Chain A
Amino acid sequence: MIKVRDLRKVFRVHQKEPGLAASIRSLFHRKWVEKAAVTGSSFDVSEGEIVGLIGANGAGKTTLVKMLSGIIHPTSGEAEVLGHVPWKRENEFRRQIALVMGQKAQMWWDLPGGDCFELLREIYQIPRDQYQQSLNKLTDMLGIGDELKVQIRRLSLGERMKMELIAALLHSPRVVYLDEPTIGLDITTQRAVRDFLLEYRRENAPAMILTSHYMEDIERLCERIIIIREGDIVYDGSLERVIREYAPYKQLRLHVHRADQPGVDLLEKMGQVIDCEPGSICLRVDREKIPEVAAELLRKFSVIDLSIEDPEIGDTIERIMAGSTADSE
C-alpha cells in the first residue's frame, strides 16, 4: 500500500546570529544553510500493518509523514501510496488517507465536534447512512457520544484527541498516519486510544504509520518498527529482531546468602557485572551463554532467587537512536 524509494527532504534554513547587530545585518544579507531532514528513506508498508516510526526529536519522522500524506514535496526520491504520488494530491488519494497530529489540533476550534463531523461528511462526500453508522461506532468505541455538542476548545486534551481520531477515521481511510497521537494524554486515555486503534485495525485493516516517543505505544501497537537517526533509516524490522540484533544479551539477577557472595573476579569471567551489592548481583550475559552461566551459579553458590530478563526495549532503541550499531553491542 505504501512504497517509498530513496525519499529525501532538504530544508533551507535561515541562520541568524544572536544580537541586535546581527538582526540589522540580516535585514540586508541572510545566511542560509541546508538541513537534511530525511536522507534517502526506502521501505514498504502493507495492508493491515502498523509500523512504528521511531526517532529522537528532529530525526525526520514527521517530515516523512508529511511527505507521505502529500502535505510537503520531497527534494528527491519516489513514493507511492495506494498507487498515487502523495504530493500530487489527487482527490482520489486524499479520500483514502488520514493524518492525526497529536501536537496540532486539526478540528475547528470554535465548533462542536458534531458540526465538525458534519462538515467532514460534506468534504469527503460520505453517504448519510454510512456516516451515521461510522460516527455511532467510533463515538461508542471512544465513549464520547455526550461531548458531540460541546465546542472543541472547551474539551479536555484527551477528549479533543478522541475527536481528532474520529475526524480522521470517519471516511474509513485505507492509510492512516498517526503523528504522536498520545502525546500529553494521561495514562488511562493513552490506553483507551491504543485499544481503540487496535480495534480499528482489526475491523478495517488499514496501513498505519505511527510515530511516538512512548515505548508503550510502540510495544502495544506495532509489530514492526523503523528507527530513524538524523534522517536516515538505521533499522527496519520486527520488535523482536531489534532485541536479538542490538541487545544480544540478557540480564541475570541473582540473590545469594551474604556469606556466600561470589567474588567479582569470578563474575567477570561469566559476563559483564552491572551491579554487585552484598547478597544481590546483576550480570549482563550473552544469550547463548545464559544456560551455562545460570547452571554454574546455581551449582557453586547457595542461590535464594535467580531471574533472567530481556533488556528493556526502550533502552535498546534509545541506544540505537544514540548511534549504537548491532556490531558495537
Chain B
Amino acid sequence: MSLSLFLHIVNLETKKLMSYRVDFWITMAVNLVVNLVILWALWTAIFSESGSEIIGGWDLPGILSYGVMVFLTGRIVRGGDLQMTVATDIYEGALSRFLLYPRHYAFTKYAQQVGNIVPDLFQSVLMGLVALPVLGISSTTAITPLTVAMSIPTILVAHLLFFMMGLIPQYIAFWADNVWSLSVMLRFVTMLLGGAMLPLSLFPEPVQQVLHWLPFAYLFEFPTLVILGKVDFSQWLIGIGTCLLWCLAIGSLSIPVWRRGDLRYTGVGI
C-alpha cells in the first residue's frame, strides 16, 4: 500500500468522524466526567482506608494521573473502538468491496483505524489539559516534554498491536456468524491484563511474572508509564522492540487464519 493511499484513508476517516460534531463533543464530555468521578471516588476511598501515602509505588495524585492517562491513551490505542469492523465486514458481506480493490484488506482496515485515532488524539489532549491540573502534584510521576514525545511512537506501536490482536478473533466470523461475544471478551481481557483498569504493579507478583511474557502490558500500561515518566530510555527501547515483535508474531499467525477463512467466505449479508 502506498503512503499516499494510507494518508488518504486516514484523512477520510478523520473527516468522516469529525462530521458528526454533536456525537464528537458529547462523547468526549461524558467520558471525561464519568471517568474522573469514578477514579476520584475509588482511589480516594482506597487511600483513606489504607492510611498509606504510597500504594504499589503510587501516591494519590500519581494513581489518579495513571487512571486518567491510561484512559486517554487507551482511547487512542483502541482507535475509536473499531475492533468489530472486520467481523462486521465479513458478517454483512461488506468485505466483498475490499476484495475487489487491488490493495490488501488488512492494510486498508489498519489505515481506517489510524484515521480513527486522530479525533481520539485531539479529544485526549483536550481532556488531559482539563483533567491533569485538578489531580494535584505527584511525587511518583513526572510528565515532561521528553516523556510526551516518547509516548507518541509508543502509543502508535501499541495501537498497531491492538489492531493485530483483534484480527484473529474477528476472522472467526468466517466460521461463526456472530463473534460479538468473543470481541467483548477480548476487550475485557486486554483491558484487565493490559493495565487499563489498574497498574499491573498492583497485581500479585506471580501474575506480574506471567504478564511479563504476554503482549497485553504493551497495550495500555506501557504507553501510560512512558508518558508518566516511569520508564527510562533503555526500558523504552526494549519495550518498543518487544511490542513490534509481538505485532510481527501475531500478524504472522493471522495470515493462515485469513487464508482458511477466505475459502469459506460467501459474500452474503445484509
Which chain A residues have a beta carbon within 8 Å of chain B's beta carbons? Answer: 11, 66, 69-73, 89, 91-92, 94-95, 97-99, 101, 104, 106, 108, 110-111, 115, 118-119, 122-125
Contact = CB atoms under 8 A, between A and B. Distances in A.
Interface in B7-32: 8-9, 12, 15-16, 19
Contacts of A94: 100-102
Given A71-B96, A97-B100, A122-B4, A108 B12 contact: yes
A111 B99 CA distance: 20
B262 interface: yes
Contacts of A115: 12, 15
B262 A124 contact: no
Contacts of A108: 12, 16
B266 A106 contact: no
Contact of B100 (A73, A99, A111, A119): A99
Given A66-B267, A94-B100, A104 B19 contact: no
A91 B102 contact: yes
Contacts of B96: 66, 71, 99, 101, 104, 106
A101 B265 CA distance: 17
Main secondary structure of the interface of B (DSSP, over half): helix
A206 B5 CA distance: 27
Nearest to B5: A122
Nearest to A118: B8
- Contact residues on B (Cβ < 8 Å of other chain), bracket: 20 to 34
B99 A70 contact: yes
B105 to A, nearest CB: 10
12 contacts: A66-B267, A71-B265, A72-B266, A73-B263, A104-B93, A104-B269, A106-B96, A108-B16, A119-B9, A122-B2, A122-B5, A124-B102
Interface string B90-106: 00010011011111000
B99, B100, B269, most chain A CB atoms within 10 A? B100
A121 to B, nearest CB: 9
A123 B101 contact: yes
Contacts of B265: 71-73
Given A71-B100, A97-B100, 14 more contacts: A11-B266, A70-B99, A71-B265, A72-B267, A92-B102, A104-B269, A106-B96, A111-B15, A115-B12, A119-B9, A119-B12, A122-B8, A122-B9, A124-B101
A73 B100 CA distance: 13
Contacts of A106: 96-97
A110 B20 CA distance: 10
A136 B8 CA distance: 21
Contacts of A71: 96, 99-100, 265, 267
Contact of A119 (B8, B263, B267, B269): B8
Given A111-B12, A122-B8, A123-B5, A95 B102 contact: yes
A110 B16 contact: yes
Given A73-B263, A99-B100, A125 B2 contact: yes
B16 A111 contact: yes
Contacts of A66: 96, 267
Contacts of A118: 8
Contacts, number: 60
Contacts of A92: 102
A91 B5 CA distance: 15
3 closest pairs, A vs B, by CB? A91-B102, A94-B102, A122-B5
B70 to A, nearest CB: 30
A146 B265 CA distance: 38
A290 B103 CA distance: 60
Interface in B230-270: 262-263, 265-267, 269
Nearest to A65: B267
A71 B262 CA distance: 9
B19 A110 contact: yes
A111 B93 CA distance: 20
Nearest to B17: A110
A284 to B, nearest CB: 42
Contacts of A73: 262-263, 265
Interface in B73-122: 93, 96-97, 99-103
B80 to A, nearest CB: 14
Nearest to B96: A71
Nearest to B19: A110
A89 B101 CA distance: 9
Contacts of B19: 110
Nearest to A14: B177
Contacts of B5: 122-123
A101 B268 CA distance: 12
A124 to B, nearest CB: 7
A69 B100 contact: yes
A25 B102 CA distance: 43
Contacts of A98: 100
A123 B103 contact: yes
Contacts of A104: 93, 96, 269
A92 B103 CA distance: 11
B141 to A, nearest CB: 40
B114 to A, nearest CB: 15
Which of B103, B263, B267, B269 is packed against the most chain A CB atoms within 10 Å? B267
Contacts of B103: 91, 123
Nearest to B4: A122
A92 B96 CA distance: 18
